[in-house]
């Protein structure tokens, strides 16, 4: 199911989401201040490309209060809007029975979009 789910995801919008995250990451990396946020956008983009079969876990050596501060800044600047978009698409897909696997992937991406610092995609 993972490979087939990824292929269907890629055809029906996954590649467009991937390109959006990569362009946003490149634009954020143009400034020195935006580099950490650009790297997190790349992390979201990689998950958006192949979400089936990947898990999100907390890092063992998370930077502590710096990670918390960066998550709060990320949330205020744009993370809340990204998470709400994934939540909306997840709810729309969950209405149909066939869309439930893709809705679960949007919910997974929404949780990472809220607090990407101190987490990694495995």
**What is the SS3 assignment for the chain?**
CHHHHHHHHHHHHHHHHHHHHHHHHHHHCCCCCCHHHHHHHHHHHHHHHCCCCCCEEECCCCCCHHHHHHHHHHHHHHHHHHHHHHHHHHHHHHHCCCCHHHHHHHHHHHHHHHCCCCEEEC
Looking at residue 62, its pLDDT comes to 60
Number of domains in the chain: 1
> What does the pLDDT look like over 20-72, one tens digit per residue?
999 999 999 999 999 999 999 999 999 999 999 898 888 877 667 888 899 99
Tens digit of pLDDT for each residue in 65-102? Answer: 888 899 999 999 888 999 999 999 999 999 998 999 99
Check residue 59 and give its pLDDT: 82
Q: The domain containing residue 92 runs over which residues?
A: 2-121
């Amino acid at each position: 199911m993972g490979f087939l789910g990824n292929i269907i995801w890629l055809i029906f919008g996954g590649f467009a989401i991937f390109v959006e995250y990569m362009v946003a990451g490149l634009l954020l990396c143009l400034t020195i201040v935006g580099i950490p946020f650009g790297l997190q956008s790349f992390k979201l983009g990689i998950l958006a490309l192949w979400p089936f079969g990947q898990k999100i876990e907390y890092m063992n050596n998370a930077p502590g209060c710096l990670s918390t501060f960066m998550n709060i800044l990320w949330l205020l600047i744009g993370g809340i809007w990204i998470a709400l978009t994934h939540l909306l698409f997840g709810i729309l897909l969950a209405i149909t029975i066939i869309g439930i696997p893709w809705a679960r992937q949007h919910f997974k991406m929404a949780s990472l979009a809220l607090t990407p610092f101190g987490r990694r995609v495995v």
